[in-house]
Amino acid sequence: MFDLNPSDDKLVSMYGMKTIHPTTINDINYKDFNAPEDLSDLTTEQQYNLLIDIIDSDQPQQSSNPQGNVLLDIITNQESLRARNNFQNSFAQAERQIQDQNSQLTKAISENFVYFINTKQKVDDTLVDFIKSKTKAQQDRLSSRVFNPQRRSLTNREGLTSELEDNISNLMNSTSLMIQPINESKHKEDKVAKMLEFIKMNQHFFDLPQNLVHSLSLNKNEKFIDDYNRYINDKDRFLANFNNRFNEQQAKLTNENNTQALKVLEEDRVMKLTLISKIFEEVDTIAQQYRNKIYQEFLSLDHEVTKSQNNSKFISLVDNLSKLNLDDKMANPIADFLSKQVEAIDKDFEHQVGKFDSKFLLMQNKLVDYIRSLNPERREGSHINYINEKYDTYRDEINLVDNFDQKLRIIREAFESNDSLDLSLINETWLVLYNFINYLDSMLMANMGKFLTNYVHYVKMGIDPTGEIRDSCIKLINQVVLIMVALFDDENNDNNQLESSPKNYKQFVPYYSNSLSSIYHLTRISEKVNKIMNSFGDLVGTIGNASKYADTNKVIKNLKNSSIKVNQKILEAVCATWVNDCSQFYELEDWSLDKEKGKGKYRNSMNNGKCTKLMNVIQYYQLYVLVKISKLVIHDSLSSTPSTSSTSSTEYKIVATYPSKRMLVSIEIQFMRSLNIIVDSMMKKYNLDRQDKNNDDSKNLQVFKILTMNNFDILSRIIYPELLSQFDKLFDKDLSHQNLKLFADIDKASLTIIEDILNIEKLYMAQHVNKFFHNHNNNNNSQRLQVMKVDGFIYEILIHFVKLINKIKPLTSQEIFISVINELQLNLLKNIIDNVRQSPLKSSLSYVNLKLDANFILSVFEKSSLLQLNDACYKYLQILLNDIDTKNNEMSEKYKYSQTDFNKILELSLQDSSNEFSCF
């Protein structure tokens, strides 16, 4: 194994020296070899053996060749004592490095011994191949670098000297290359020593990064800040002293013109600055990271200035930031905090707007799919059955109360409860809108309130001198208001209110919404929107006064205009669903009568006919809508609503307490429109049932016609006047004192229905009268006419009267009932008169019987207290009797009878039919 620490004897023996410090030729053990003149003639094996002989030779031989002293002279002359000393130092350094790496080298050789043997063999083989490939000239040049006195003849002294000089030069180059790594290593070692010395002298700088991190890990922020600020001072002082010392040394060496020393000085300066700069950079990085951390923590604080101790953390962070020598970006942390508050509110608002848009659009698309599944005639409607259900739930409770105010309270409780308002999908869609507005009212306004409190407090300290933070807040308020105005808008701003429909307001009204859900949700939403608007007014006014904002009034005016627009559109949407539901009331009409409980205004009165349940539904529903609309547009309660800022004043109120003239006109238009549409809806139901083939007019009296007529009568005399009076009371109007076309339309509709009823009954009676005269004239059997009696068709007609009375009287008012019967009485007499004049009878007895018929009719109705013949009927009865007498007198053969017999037969006939006609 290679000896890394040989002894002096071994070195002397190995290199053929007498001493390890040779100075003369006598110190070299020289052996003369008989070498051939040309080494190229030798084989590789012979060259190798020759080399071994030279190395292994340890026999000192004194050369007799006088030229042997030439080598020693040359070596002695070329190498100075300084060079030998440098060589000895370098060699000693190399020995120390070899000793230091001895263990590592031993371990490496042990671990890689086999690999080393294999590699050595491959290297030997490669060298052999390489030597074989060389030319003779190359081998000569290679061999010429080794001085061997016996290789050549010594006869040519000059050639030998030249060759020796070349070989010495090559030896010196080789020695320099060997010594260079040692010198570099020594240079590095000296540099490391200087670095270590520099680190020891400035140990506090190099320990600072670890100390700072340790302080942060223990949450010792005060110690961190103190250490850092101390570091800033020490750093400035160190750099100043370091530069001054360098400048002094540089000036001194410049005067001495010591270029080498200047170079070493500059290298030393660069080395030290590089080393200390890394420490400074690390410390500054730690401090910057800490600054950023507490700065972000400071900006993200949910802070609001209060008189309590809750401000301690905020103040602590501000204090810490002020001690950290902030750069320009962090020079004013409080201003940055206020700006960050506005920025965070704005960012969150944009996120909520996007979330609302996507959710509401998704729900609307679901409703569109639902509407497409309906029949085409139902796609423009809504679920008004919930109105009927609301009434059914509270019907008994409402009808048991006579006091109007109490009844109105129960009606409001019934219709505005949030259960069973509309289809579940529609209610969910309303909830999406409500949640968004509730976010604005709660989260956004709460955050804006915190900002306002902070801004008003800190602006007094000189924060925001340019008004940049204030402007960003005003911009955010305008943006929120703009979104609300765009949200509560219709599809066509120029749409006619008389033609508006719920689909025009699809941006905030779910498709297919009924008026119950619209009123309930939009009323709540309107309250929150108005609260938001007033709060914005307080914000703008307070910030404007605090910062001397010149455009405060301009912003306030814009808020007021926006509030009017939003409230106008909400009102229009409510009215659109209201009128749309009124147009569908015919679907609720099933001709069922309401239970008679309590003492309502028109219950159990002889002057009022029976009305269907729908009339009560309409009355209570309309009262509820009027009350809710008045609450929607009259905001007298807002004056007592707590505002965002304690400094708010009524001068900043944005929402008007009372509605504008335009709003009142809109409400009046929609109210009158709803009343007219209800009439149209009732007529629509009437016409649909009238066209129903299951209703046979010739056989059955259609009760729905009587009920429709009664419903119109109740509407005209009681319900609509009450609604008009309530409207005047709520909105300070005088509609109840105006001559409205509405009542003329109702009377016209009632007359149409009465005429329809009368025409059917008149036709029935006319058919029986005509049939009698027709059959009498075509009947040749005169024997049947020899008896004085009341004719059969009279009984049939009077029995029909009985049926009419039994059906009409319980349903209609007394006035209508009497007018219908009187009209039919008159029509009966007219028909008989016409037939008497147009179809003369063939016998005198027939006229006598006809006279008996007329007296029988008179006697039957005279027994009634209500259905006696009126003046017109008496007049026509007298005409009929006169025509009968005239026709009878014209007969050639008169039937002879006494007045006593006539009266007796009349009396008997009345007695026999007394039971049948007792209803009269």
> Which range marks the domain in which residue 549 is found?
350-731
DSSP string, 758-785: HHHHHHHHHHHHHHHHHHHHH---GGGG
Torsion of CA 433, 438, 439, 444, to 10 degrees: 130
C-beta separation of 830 from 880 below 8 A: no
Element counts in the chain: helices (H) and strands (E): 30, 0
- Mean pLDDT, the chain, rounded, equals 79
- Share above pLDDT 90 across residues of the chain, in percent, rounded to a whole number: 31
Mean pLDDT, to the nearest integer, of 508-531? Answer: 94
C-beta separation of 652 from 556 below 8 A: yes
Kindly state whether residues 109 and 208 are assigned to the same domain.
no
The predicted pLDDT at position 52 comes to: 61
Listed residues 672, 698, 731: the one ending a domain: 731
Range with top average pLDDT, 74-83, 252-261, 334-343, 569-578: 569-578
Kindly state whether residues 769 and 864 are assigned to the same domain.
yes
The predicted pLDDT at position 420 comes to: 84
Kindly state whether residues 326 and 361 are assigned to the same domain.
no
Listed residues 187, 214, 241: the one ending a domain: 187
The predicted pLDDT at position 589 comes to: 92
Cα–Cα distance measured from residue 905 to residue 789, given in angstroms and rounded to the nearest whole number? 7
Q: 3-class DSSP state for residue 398? A: helix
C-beta separation of 659 from 554 below 8 A: no
Cα–Cα distance measured from residue 589 to residue 582, given in angstroms and rounded to the nearest whole number? 12
The predicted pLDDT at position 461 comes to: 80
Mean pLDDT, to the nearest integer, of 244-258? Answer: 85
Kindly state whether residues 405 and 298 are assigned to the same domain.
no
286 pLDDT higher than 90:
no
Residue 247 lies in a domain: yes
Q: What is the 3-state secondary structure (H, E, C) of 415-429?
A: HHCCCCCCCHHHHHH
C-beta separation of 532 from 441 below 8 A: yes
Cα–Cα distance measured from residue 427 to residue 523, given in angstroms and rounded to the nearest whole number? 14
Residue 818 lies in a domain: yes
Mean pLDDT, to the nearest integer, of 27-37? Answer: 59
Kindly state whether residues 324 and 354 are assigned to the same domain.
no
The predicted pLDDT at position 270 comes to: 86
Residue 747 lies in a domain: no
Token pair, residue 916, equals 């049948």
Residue 240 lies in a domain: yes
Residue 653 lies in a domain: yes
Kindly state whether residues 312 and 461 are assigned to the same domain.
no
484 pLDDT higher than 90:
yes
Mean pLDDT, to the nearest integer, of 827-850? Answer: 89
DSSP state of 40: G
Cα–Cα distance measured from residue 605 to residue 717, given in angstroms and rounded to the nearest whole number? 13
590 pLDDT higher than 50:
yes
Contacting residues for 565 by C-beta, under 8 A, at least 6 apart? 485, 488, 489
Mean pLDDT, to the nearest integer, of 133-140? Answer: 53
Cα–Cα distance measured from residue 185 to residue 333, given in angstroms and rounded to the nearest whole number? 53
DSSP state of 440: I
pLDDT digits (tens, 9 = 90+) for 550-583: 888 999 999 999 999 999 999 999 999 999 999 9
92 pLDDT higher than 80:
no
The predicted pLDDT at position 876 comes to: 92
Residue 823 lies in a domain: yes
Cα–Cα distance measured from residue 887 to residue 840, given in angstroms and rounded to the nearest whole number? 8
The predicted pLDDT at position 496 comes to: 67
Q: Range with the lowest mean pLDDT among 1-15, 173-187, 499-513?
A: 1-15
Place 651 in a pLDDT band, splitting at 50, 70 and 90.
low
Mean pLDDT, to the nearest integer, of 575-604? Answer: 77
Cα–Cα distance measured from residue 466 to residue 457, given in angstroms and rounded to the nearest whole number? 16
Cα–Cα distance measured from residue 558 to residue 531, given in angstroms and rounded to the nearest whole number? 16
Q: 3-class DSSP state for residue 208? A: helix
The predicted pLDDT at position 146 comes to: 46
- Bigger pLDDT: 780 or 643? 780
The predicted pLDDT at position 647 comes to: 38
Mean pLDDT, to the nearest integer, of 785-790? Answer: 76
Q: Range with the lowest mean pLDDT among 95-109, 226-240, 678-692?
A: 95-109
Number of domains in the chain: 4
C-beta separation of 341 from 447 below 8 A: yes
2, 45, 71, 333 from 59: Cα distances, Å: 24, 24, 19, 91
Token pair, residue 759, equals 């025409």
Bridge partners, residue 593, by sequence: 612
Place 48 in a pLDDT band, splitting at 50, 70 and 90.
low
Mean pLDDT, to the nearest integer, of 111-140? Answer: 64
Q: At 61, phi and psi to the nearest 5?
A: -120, 130
68 pLDDT higher than 50:
no
The CB density around residue 445, as the number of other CB atoms within 10 Å, is 21
Mean pLDDT, to the nearest integer, of 280-295? Answer: 79
Q: At 438, phi and psi to the nearest 5?
A: -65, -35
Place 363 in a pLDDT band, splitting at 50, 70 and 90.
very high
65 pLDDT higher than 50:
no
239 pLDDT higher than 80:
yes
Residue 678 lies in a domain: yes
The predicted pLDDT at position 642 comes to: 42
Q: Range with the lowest mean pLDDT among 221-225, 227-231, 232-236?
A: 221-225
Vertex 609 angle, CA 674 and 411, to 5°: 45
Contacting residues for 499 by C-beta, under 8 A, at least 6 apart? none
C-beta separation of 649 from 541 below 8 A: yes
- Bigger pLDDT: 620 or 144? 620
Rounded to a whole number of angstroms, the distance between the first and last alpha carbons of the chain is: 151
pLDDT digits (tens, 9 = 90+) for 716-729: 999 999 999 999 99
Buried b (16+ CB within 10 A) or exposed e, 473-485: bbebbbebbebbe
Kindly state whether residues 516 and 611 are assigned to the same domain.
yes
The predicted pLDDT at position 62 comes to: 43
Whose CA is closest to 516, among 668, 670, 391? Answer: 391
Kindly state whether residues 213 and 158 are assigned to the same domain.
no
- Share above pLDDT 70 across residues of the chain, in percent, rounded to a whole number: 75
Kindly state whether residues 717 and 810 are assigned to the same domain.
no
The predicted pLDDT at position 31 comes to: 55
The predicted pLDDT at position 322 comes to: 53
Kindly state whether residues 806 and 907 are assigned to the same domain.
yes
Cα–Cα distance measured from residue 79 to residue 65, given in angstroms and rounded to the nearest whole number? 23
Place 64 in a pLDDT band, splitting at 50, 70 and 90.
very low
The predicted pLDDT at position 59 comes to: 44
512 pLDDT higher than 70:
yes
DSSP string, 570-619: HHHHHHHHHHHHHTTGGGT---PBPP--S--TTSS-TTS---BHHHHHHH
Mean pLDDT, to the nearest integer, of 700-708? Answer: 79
Kindly state whether residues 535 and 676 are assigned to the same domain.
yes
Residue 562 lies in a domain: yes
Mean pLDDT, to the nearest integer, of 872-876? Answer: 92
Q: 3-class DSSP state for residue 868? A: coil
Kindly state whether residues 521 and 664 are assigned to the same domain.
yes
The predicted pLDDT at position 58 comes to: 45
- Bigger pLDDT: 531 or 10? 531
632 pLDDT higher than 80:
yes
Token pair, residue 801, equals 């009267």
Token pair, residue 88, equals 């000895």
502 pLDDT higher than 50:
yes
Listed residues 153, 187, 221: the one ending a domain: 187
The predicted pLDDT at position 324 comes to: 59
